[in-house]
Amino acid sequence: MGNISKKKREQLLEFLNKLREEHEDDEVLFSINKIESELTSIKYGLVWEEHEERVDKEIETKVPVFTEIKEREISSNGSLPYNFLLEGDNLHSLYLLEKTHKNKIDVIYIDPPYNRGKDDFIYDDNYVDEEDAFKHSKWLSFMSKRLNIAYKLLNSEGVIFISIDDNEMAQLKMLCDSIFGESNCIGVIIQNKMNSKNDALNIQKNHEYILVYRKQANYIDNKEKPTLISDSYKVKKIYQEGEKYYYLNDPITTRGEGGELNARPNLGYTVYFNPVTNDKIAVCDYDVELAKVSNDEKAIYKDDKNIISKGYIPIRPPRVRGKLGAWTWELDKFNRDKHLIVITENKRTKSYSVKKRTFVDKNEVYSKDGKLYYNFYGRGNSKSIIEFSTNDGTKELNRVLGEKGKFNNPKNLEMIKYLIRLFPKRDALVLDFFAGSGTTGQAVLELNKSDGGNRRFILCTNNQNNICEEVTYKRLKNVIEGYKFQGNKETVLYEKSLDIDDLYNMESIIETVDQIEERSRQNFTRIIKKLEGNVLKIVGQDIVEEKVEGIPANLKYYKTDYIEKFDQNENYNIREELLKHIVEMVQLEHGVKIDNKEYIIILSDNEVDKLEHEKEKLKKCKTIYLSSQVLLTKKQEKLFDDFDIDLVNIPDYYFEYELREVGEI
């Protein structure tokens, strides 16, 4: 017998007792007893008392909709599609996403409440504590509704990552097996949090889990050996240097307006390269102030003839859209980490590229056709244990927001980037319906910046304690538009590789360290001594204010809302009320902005008749979204075709079920 609620079980048992009173036949009584035994017996498997949420009750008399908060729209690049932040109960948002994104989501990452019995899990507006007899049942009811919709949202190639800890790990695994299929469990990733706490039994609780499921077995495989998908961006060509292996990143420059020297005047230094010795050095040989307003290379730059006379070739940042470009590395970082830089020459154009080396684990390198490859995004190439500090998530959020204490335990940014990168498509649509502080949104934007991808995100979160407005939205806004923060700037004052002989000479080394520390103390906020492997370093640290450049992206902000199914007002028309929220649904499904210019929505014959005569408007239009109630004439169809305008029908399925339910269809 499947799951039934406690209330329904009690009703059935009461009904059986009434039947006993009305019947004396032994065969009938035997059957009644057998049914009662089935109702009361304990079964093996995941069985829980189902519970009803406030949202379930509300949709009995109301239709969920989205309302756009237009003043919170962020638009930094008109050529990019839109991302979405959905404020409200995530079950409400998921009901609507099922209408717009069924079988369309590539990657889902969620960090649901862990149900620790403290203050992390709210059910029906109340915290669920440790003493609640239905603690696990409420959590399973809560999660099953959301995961069933999540399954429908994933496309056939889709994958879902779910963070969890010991409290509900066993229950969640069984629940996911029943929804996604046990054979579609790719595995469990163990996250070492790198900061442990002991419980009463002195057992360290220093890890959590990430459950990974695919939609269909024939797409995301779980083989341990990396699979070569193609010879394009999904793999990296590997170079060998002794026992080390590395691949070359793209040049340390940024495309788009953010990579222009006018926007980054401090990053226009010249790299002087000696092709004979392979030496390279970054030199500030230009007028920084003039670089802010001019694109005249001859006026801005002045070659260092002394360096050139020694056989060095000047290399400047490549141009961006015809304008002078900038590097992404600071000058000090370049000279400090120049051992990571490889300069390659294009023989045909006689130009040079400045690229960064990224070293990889040799165990993850494989050979094909005599060449070495590293499966950078590889399916099935994730590790079973990963280490990401939970403290780093807090530090990153504080840095972006510019203030502390706004959100507890945000997820580690690099961990989310790692998980998303396991999915091979760089145009993936990523959903997080427990978005919290918005780490997933920042991860998507930073991945796009690093590899030129076109990923998009949809984030759902409530606004408890103004989280969505003051944390999630503010974080995304700062990442997109750029922000200032106070950070630590470090200068290496002393560096020495220690060997066995140094053990007999430690007094001299300590004396040298003390002298450097004393001499440098007044020049830095603090002096740090650290040992990295066998390398002893003395580092001078200053607190500096830095400006982080924004990552071009577009964002729309929606709030969940309701439309009454019935109203006492005789003039009330539910169809007209729902039409007021059609724009939000179209924008969400297609990732666009209905601006009445490039993207136009037509809801009536009168509107299309009027548009027919606006030739200047039609010249700019890319797509027209048409209500199913609008009938185009042959003349109008030809007209729109002549202007190369895409015609997209607004689907009836947005609110068809609700309109049938109230008798409007």
Express each pLDDT in 600-646 by its tens digit. Answer: 999 999 999 999 999 999 999 999 999 888 999 999 999 999 999 99
d(CA 7, CA 128): 20
d(CA 42, CA 47): 9
Neighbour-count burial for 148-182, b at 16+ CB within 10 Å, e otherwise: ebbbebbbebbbbbbbbeebbbebbbebbbebbee
Q: What is the pLDDT of residue 411?
A: 87
Residue 129 Cα distances to 124, 546, 651, angstroms: 13, 43, 44
Q: Where are the beta strands (DSSP E) in 124-232?
A: 126-127, 154-164, 185-192, 207-214
Q: What is the pLDDT of residue 1?
A: 47
Q: What is the pLDDT of residue 322?
A: 79
d(CA 425, CA 377): 8
Give the DSSP letter of residue 468: I
Question: 146-150, 336-340, 385-389, 616-620: which has the minimum mean pLDDT?
Answer: 385-389
Contact status, residue 374 vs residue 245, Cβ threshold 8 Å: yes
Q: Where are the beta strands (DSSP E) in 88-237?
A: 105-110, 122-123, 126-127, 154-164, 185-192, 207-214, 236-237
Q: What is the pLDDT of residue 50?
A: 67
Q: What is the pLDDT of residue 656?
A: 83
Q: What is the pLDDT of residue 376?
A: 47
What are the residues whose beta carbons fall under 8 Å from the beta carbon of 560, sequence distance 6 or more? Answer: 64, 65, 66, 67, 86, 87, 88, 89, 92, 93, 96
Task: Walk across the sheet containing 270-274 and list its strands.
Answer: 279-283, 270-274, 313-315
pTM: 0.65
d(CA 254, CA 549): 11
Contact status, residue 413 vs residue 447, Cβ threshold 8 Å: no
- Does residue 45 carry a pLDDT above 60? no
Strand partners, 520: none
Q: Which tokens go with 8?
A: 């329904």
Q: What is the pLDDT of residue 446?
A: 92
Closest listed residue to residue 100, CA positions, set 616, 558, 607 = 558
Q: What is the pLDDT of residue 437?
A: 92
Closest listed residue to residue 256, CA positions, set 495, 475, 7, 549 = 549
Tens of pLDDT along 278-307? 899 999 999 999 999 999 999 999 999 999
What are the residues whose beta carbons fall under 8 Å from the beta carbon of 126, sequence distance 6 or more? Answer: none
Q: What is the pLDDT of residue 162?
A: 95
d(CA 80, CA 49): 46
Q: What is the pLDDT of residue 565?
A: 85
Interval 380-394 mean pLDDT: 61
d(CA 357, CA 246): 6
Residue 218 Cα distances to 157, 215, 487, angstroms: 8, 9, 47
* Per-residue confidence band for 344, with pLDDT thresholds at 50, 70 and 90: confident
Q: What is the pLDDT of residue 286?
A: 94
Work out the angle between the directed axes of helices 473-481 and 390-401 (0-180°, nearest 10): 70
* Per-residue confidence band for 503, with pLDDT thresholds at 50, 70 and 90: low
